[in-house]
Structure 1
């Protein structure tokens, strides 16, 4: 079951997204950490921020589509 989340930034306002079941343990860990506040950084075209989640890689992909949400385990980052 996908869960809807809201990400708010000064530059974009509210953006609605979904945590899908593709990586259910990771999605649940992120859901359980909400709500949270963080300062975003960029790396190339990616936007990311550290979150208080420690999850092992689950169905990892090296390439994602524009607009996809992801979790980067080495940096405990939401991308």
Structure 2
């Protein structure tokens, strides 16, 4: 499954693997939300609510597409967050890992807090 994430200054695509959370997100698309940033992470609310899955991770690679179960949000880290150690991508809490961005995750640097975000099937 592939999704497209769009905001005023850019867009990116991501490839998602089959998980219960991915399926719930896929069925909810398209969605519109508002961007938040936390260090080098973009996150935004979704209409999806899912429990934490086995294999949820708090430390992930840049460009990971994660679902933050505590906030019903997609989390897109591209660098360190305020709680990172040694430059890692550390999410606020363990998140369900859905997949990864297809290109350079640094494109997310152009997302500003309050930007409208749209996620659709690619």
TM-score (norm 2): 0.58
Shift of 1:7: 0.5
Q: Where does structure 2 lack aligned partners over 5 or more consecutive residues? A: 76-122
**3-state secondary structure, aligned to 1:31:** helix
What corresponds to 2:3 in structure 1? 5
Q: Where does structure 1 lack aligned partners over 5 or more consecutive residues? A: none
- Equivalent-residue separation in structure 2 for 1:35 and 1:48 (angstroms): 16
Q: Which has the higher contact order (CA 8 A, sep 6+)?
A: 2
Which deviations, in whole Å up to 9, do the C-alpha atoms of 1:23-59 show, x marking residues without a partner? Answer: x101101101100101110011110000001101112
What corresponds to 1:51 in structure 2? 46
Decide which structure has the larger Cα Rg and report it.
2
What corresponds to 1:18 in structure 2? 15
- Equivalent-residue separation in structure 2 for 1:19 and 1:55 (angstroms): 16
How many residues get paired? 74
RMSD, matched Cα: 0.8
TM-score (norm 1): 0.88
Structure having the larger proportion of residues in strand: 2
